[in-house]
A and B are shown apart, each in its own frame.
Chain A
Amino acid sequence: MTLFDDYLLLTLAVVMALGAVFVRDLLSGVLILAAYSFFLALLWAGLGAVDVAFTEAVVGAGLSTVFFLMALFLTSHQEAVRKQLRVRIIALGSLGILGSLLLFGSVDLPVVGDPKSLPNKHISSNYLRKSLEETDTPNVVTAVLADYRGFDTLGEATVIFTAGVACWMLLRRRDDSAT
């Protein structure tokens, strides 16, 4: 993975994001969003995060798109056109503050790719060193996900379970009340 690939994929992702946002037809927007997800998955794979890339491809380009499409088939495709200049200016102003704060904080962020940076060194190297010996699992991401931080993963499974119960509750027909 060279820096050039990164530039290429990042540019493509940003272009896709802009396309998804500014196209008026929501169906096209959602499909462009799937393409965006796909480029992101490639980017994650290039940056060494294969598990995240896999999940992004399955969930972002797959499941999310299916959910979006299901919703769009039941509702409408078209976005109304309107002008609301004042809201936009206020929002742009506050986002400018947010953006400059992000840039302000970025100066002291570790250099990308530095193996000696604190986030890459402190606890994460413990996982890399010990996971095979302690958990018998060569894929360190799986070991951290399911064991070292297994409680987060239980929370994660609970989040999607909550979403399942929530959708069931929200879209239930009135006449089911007999059951």
Chain B
Amino acid sequence: MIRPHDSVIVHTLARVFTPIIQLFALYVLIHGHDSPGGGFQAGTLFAASIILSILAFGIQDSQTVLERRAIILGGIGILLYAGIGLLPLILGAEFLNYGELPIPGMEASARRHWGILGIEIGVTIAVAATAVSIFYSLSGRGEGEGK
């Protein structure tokens, strides 16, 4: 039920800021290893950029589908995280033991480095999609809730 905002200033600012925020989110995600930030912050930033553009331009699509897709994307993000964790468990090591990930030609510490990046991507997807999904839910599409 969010109608597009009718101010040109809002539209222009949203158009400018959305890609900048997304770029910053990517930076935060990738540099989580050696600067503050990581999956969760990046995910929230992504969600913020999407929420910003929704607030500025409204939602045209059928919202039920969008909301459901968002939560499914969230599920996929978590499955990515847990899948990276499950792989070592199936191979006989511990759950989430990235040191035992089957990446050839690397030391355990490097494997852990890439494992961390992998799960951070999963967290980013999960958090961004779920935050947007919660936003959709809260944005009050359900005026017709049975009384």
Residues of A within 8 A of B10 (CB): none
Residues of A within 8 A of B38 (CB): 51, 139, 141-142, 145-146
B145 touches A174 (CB 8 A): yes
Known A-B contacts A51-B38, A168-B67; A160 and B140 likewise in contact (beta carbons under 8 Å) = no
Interface bracket on B? 35 or more
Residues of A within 8 A of B129 (CB): 164
B109 touches A161 (CB 8 A): no
Q: List 8 A-B contacts (CB under 8 A).
A: A54-B36, A63-B47, A134-B109, A136-B112, A137-B113, A146-B38, A154-B81, A167-B133
Q: Within the complex, what minimum Cβ distance (angstroms) separates B68 from chain A?
A: 7
* Interfacial residues, chain B to chain A (CB-CB below 8 A): 32-41, 44-45, 47-48, 51, 64, 67-68, 70-71, 74-75, 77-78, 81-82, 85, 95-96, 98, 108-110, 112-113, 115-116, 119-120, 122-123, 126-127, 129-131, 133-135, 137-142, 144-146
CA distance A172 to B37 in the complex (A): 34
Main secondary structure of the interface of A (DSSP, over half): helix
Q: Within the complex, what minimum Cβ distance (angstroms) separates A156 from chain B?
A: 8
Interface bracket on A? 35 or more
Residues of A within 8 A of B135 (CB): 66-67, 70
Known A-B contacts A154-B81, A174-B145; A164 and B34 likewise in contact (beta carbons under 8 Å) = no
B37 touches A51 (CB 8 A): yes
B33 touches A137 (CB 8 A): yes
CA distance A55 to B68 in the complex (A): 26
Is there a chain B Cβ closer than 8 Å to A175's Cβ?
A: yes
Among all A-B residue pairs, the 9 with the closest Cβ atoms: A164-B130, A167-B137, A136-B113, A50-B36, A70-B138, A146-B116, A74-B140, A173-B142, A136-B109
